[in-house]
Chains A and B, each alone.
Chain A
């Protein structure tokens, strides 16, 4: 499996009256062909902004201040955000599904108009062919009576159905990468399961790579091949899903796993909360942002700047950004 996308040292800052918010600060990652990658973190950690930056969808006061996004031999950040090169990639080669299916569809256009727009634009189909393809896509994502529903407006659809439309739209131009930003967070549990399963099947069928951006550890455990954990604008741990869950090594990842209730936990298990609060991203010190909440901190953490991602010993796939030796204090056993 070849590499499809590589992001190097991406930095996106927001200039506010209170100071500069370093929403994404030196993020590097890659996506391989036909894999499912999970990007995990709490709200405000920069996971969405990093993905919007890849698509060059950052509006002022936000600005991409540095880094590279390498895709098909080009650095996407060199292209004008609204130039022809970027427009031929956005939606066509890299597509995105947003969290709110209620607000990401245009309420005054029919589903058909919104679905065919991309097909006409990117795939150079004529209206008739585009309509046919749109109906096909709608039935593929499980919308019953697609040939009738294509002329309905978004308000005629339920939340789950709207998100199905979004998935059809995202995949309509056969993209290489589909970025799903909290795709099911606003939906009910059983609908969530339906849609995630649908997305997994669809990306397999279209041979597309999928990036799932979420705060839900369960979702990535179920679907992702590889995971990136983000905290305060940086990736703090990365590795294969199994490594990260079996052997989490960054104190933040370890903390996250210990503080969420599990469906299969033993009775009487006590949750271990992460003390303190997520940091304010304005005027961050150069030291590790997790330091004030960390229970593994060592002397070095206070003295030196936040380290770069470095491999966990003996593992070329598993990286952490931490000085502390977390090995001796492996997290609570996951087994029942």
Chain B
């Protein structure tokens, strides 16, 4: 796709985010919702990593921790070499201009009382990226062009734009400070089918144009994630169960959950569908309030054995950068 270097932009190490459940007058802590429970991954400059999983699996929480919107319970988030997980708020503000977020819902993520131009330009003012009014205007105009909007529309308000155009405004705002990292949280799921491709293509084009731009692409739609990402991490109940190159995800999925997830996504081709393996999972995702012992997936797993309820498998590279967390995968070494 674009010039991918081997330089690590983001290194997440054993990230944990627990939300306390309190009860009673004294708000005593009675339990933890383990939204993210030991997630580790690396993101290179210029790379797109997809985080895919079902609702409640913790993928959005991971994104929010990286942006510094939550203080993680434990773990490290090294961004450009600095740990932002423990960074004081004041210092974090500076780092925030280096990362941006594209939201899911282009209807509620834009202030209805703010003009499109001022929405896109606001980060420039906050982070003092421009010094003169003229510079500001030029940059806003440039941003509008980059995302395929006519700069003359800068005075209009969000309600005057269509859903696709609004998401373009959201993309322009994210690009304003020229950040090396953009977290995209379900950026197309609120859009119409025929409009989704426009935004996907826009994101891809931007990466070709802006050197070293990395995306953390969070979504539940496996086809979309696979399309846009270089590598995909599959998240289940606060854990990453598999990370691999996008191509391998479809051709050689190893974790039983990944296989079930893939088989649950229908392909728009009846001839391919006829021949596909169907794995219909039993039951539902357990509550992160009371996760099962051992492997989080074992109660629903069709390959589970007795040991699966005792061993909590960590991610292990089983060749070519394909990491998986399952003791049933051939080549996975169970450490004592």
A221 touches B269 (CB 8 A): yes
A271 touches B200 (CB 8 A): yes
**Which residues of A are found within 8 Å of B226, using beta-carbon distances?**
261, 263
B222 touches A189 (CB 8 A): yes
CB within 8 Å: A-B pair count: 123
Known: A190-B260, A256-B193, A261-B226. A218 touches B198 (CB 8 A): no
Q: Which residue numbers of A lie inside 8 Å of B, CB to CB?
A: 42-43, 158, 160-161, 188-194, 197, 215-219, 221-223, 241-242, 245-246, 255-257, 259-265, 267, 269-274, 277-278, 334
Q: Could you write out 15 A-B pairs with CB less than 8 Å apart?
A: A42-B193, A189-B54, A192-B264, A194-B280, A216-B266, A217-B268, A221-B266, A221-B269, A242-B270, A242-B271, A245-B269, A262-B267, A263-B226, A263-B267, A278-B192
* Option from A221, A245, A271 in Cβ contact (under 8 Å) with B227: A271
B26 at the interface (CB under 8 A from A): no
B270 touches A245 (CB 8 A): yes
A188 to B260, CA, bound (A): 13
A260 to B267, CA, bound (A): 10
CB distance from B299 to the nearest CB of A (A): 14
Q: Which residue numbers of B lie inside 8 Å of A, CB to CB?
A: 54-55, 162, 164, 192-198, 200-201, 220, 222-224, 226-228, 246-247, 250, 260-273, 278, 280-281, 284-285
Known: A193-B264, A194-B281. A264 touches B250 (CB 8 A): yes
**Which residues of A are found within 8 Å of B268, using beta-carbon distances?**
217-218, 221, 245, 257, 260, 262
A189 to B261, CA, bound (A): 7
B201 touches A273 (CB 8 A): yes
B271 touches A245 (CB 8 A): yes
**Which residues of B are found within 8 Å of A267, using beta-carbon distances?**
246-247
CB distance from A150 to the nearest CB of B (A): 19
B270 touches A259 (CB 8 A): no
A190-B260, A261-B226, A273-B197 known, 6 other contacts, Cβ within 8 Å: A188-B285, A191-B54, A191-B284, A221-B270, A241-B270, A262-B223
A190 to B260, CA, bound (A): 7
Looking at A255, A257, A273, A334, the one whose CB has the most chain B CB atoms below 10 A away is A273
A206 to B45, CA, bound (A): 56
B197 touches A274 (CB 8 A): yes
**Which residues of B are found within 8 Å of A217, using beta-carbon distances?**
268
**Which residues of A are found within 8 Å of B54, using beta-carbon distances?**
188-191
Known: A241-B270, A260-B197. A218 touches B280 (CB 8 A): no
B281 touches A261 (CB 8 A): no
CB distance from A212 to the nearest CB of B (A): 11
A223 to B267, CA, bound (A): 11
State the 3 A-B residue pairs at the shortest beta-carbon distance, nearest first: A218-B266, A193-B264, A261-B227
* Option from B196, B261, B270 in Cβ contact (under 8 Å) with A190: B261
CB distance from B256 to the nearest CB of A (A): 12
B265 touches A263 (CB 8 A): yes
**Which residues of B are found within 8 Å of A273, using beta-carbon distances?**
194-195, 197-198, 201
**Which residues of B are found within 8 Å of A160, using beta-carbon distances?**
284
A252 to B165, CA, bound (A): 21
**Which residues of B are found within 8 Å of A274, using beta-carbon distances?**
194, 197
A190 to B258, CA, bound (A): 11
Looking at B200, B263, B269, B280, the one whose CB has the most chain A CB atoms below 10 A away is B269
* Option from B193, B222, B228 in Cβ contact (under 8 Å) with A263: B222
**Which residues of B are found within 8 Å of A197, using beta-carbon distances?**
278, 280
